[in-house]
Structure formats: structure tokens, C-alpha cells
Amino acid sequence: MTHCAAVSRITAAGLALHRKVMPQARRAQAAMILRMSPEERVVVYRALKMLRAIGEALELAGDDSVAE
């Protein structure tokens, strides 16, 4: 398996779009999270933390495959 690094750049239009939609996305995310109980939030945050750790471990190992 070969692992290729890639460099990408965002265009001015892409950056403008990002700046426009991110505040809306953050508000929507906050509204959803606020509907969860504190216990549910803990479960979600633990799962996200685990997914991040797995992704970082796969990246460090050079594994860019996707499990089926």
C-alpha cells in the first residue's frame, strides 16, 4: 500500500463560503446538542473522541483504507 500526501488550497470563493456557512452550522449544532441530556452529551463526546483517536492512529500508520 502506498500513502500519498496531498496539499490543497482553498479558493477565495471557498473561503467566503466557509465564513458564511460555519456560523450557521455551529448554531445548528449547538441547538441539537442542547436538546440532549448531559449524560447523552457525554456519550456522544466519548464516541467522537474515540473516532478521532482511531482516525489519527490510522493516519499515523499510513492506512488510508475504508472498512466495508
Predicted pLDDT of residue 1: 46
Is the model's pLDDT at 68 over the cut of 50?
no
Domain limits of the chain? 12-61
pLDDT in tens, 12-26: 999 999 999 999 999
pLDDT in tens, 37-58: 999 999 999 999 999 999 999 9
Predicted pLDDT of residue 67: 55
Task: Specify the long-range contacts of residues 10-17, CB closer than 8 Å, at least 24 apart.
Answer: none
- Whether the model pTM is above 0.85: no
